[in-house]
Structure 1
């Protein structure tokens, strides 16, 4: 057992668990080498992901985009006149911003985050818009279809927003 002042700083820092490493060199985005993992692992949490996800998926990016997507859905849904369409406008704006700001394309992360945020918003919107006993029976009958429409639409809106954000970034950074 080590004393607390002898522990490695990476084990005390939760953000260090999510650091993405360059798969070829073992160097993270800030240029620091990771001495605790080999170059093929990517990050310490990489082993928890399914094997088919591959090295292009970033858990940290997904979590950040998910939080931003939920905030976009809530902010868009708070617009009184446009109603539930505003949720998708907020989701589109977040995905566009992720494409505009990010240096790498994150279609998988943005699509999954948008799908989760929109599916949850559809489910909670249905649950709170109908009288509770009726809503429970309605969700028991049609809940999968309702969430499926929300997930599919959220995924498509997020992918389109990210595509246009990436395209706009490419237009801004290209030499004339």
Structure 2
């Protein structure tokens, strides 16, 4: 028996983990990411036949993730984010350094606004240009530029220990080598 959702099930099985990764980057918390993805997938399911017919369900899902994460921020504007202190990494082990850097980045990203997080995820994780980022977020390219600038400046002030990572990001964006 075909119920009209077989393509949806296949899509979720194939692309669900990648979408979960993006949701996690946008929210910074596993449970919030699961909630965000569940909301977006339930909306996709309700419109699945039209979305599948239009031919790019992943783009639709990603756009919905970005926009929903920004709308959550508008609703939860006064929510506080608890950030624990991170132990100083004195070891020379590359794994330890990478783990500490990832934790510092995760906590610093959690202190950005959802729109700033969305812009950084789209620009640097998804490697999209300003115009495509603006289209997905429903804003102007100028807003993307200013949000990127403000988010990177905020990251520098929140977590100066990320200076090396941010320098790599600046170099990559300006055409330099990584």
- TM-score w.r.t. the length of structure 2 is 0.26
Question: Over alpha carbons, which structure has the higher Rg?
Answer: 1
Q: Greater share of helix residues, 1 or 2?
A: 2
- TM-score w.r.t. the length of structure 1 is 0.26
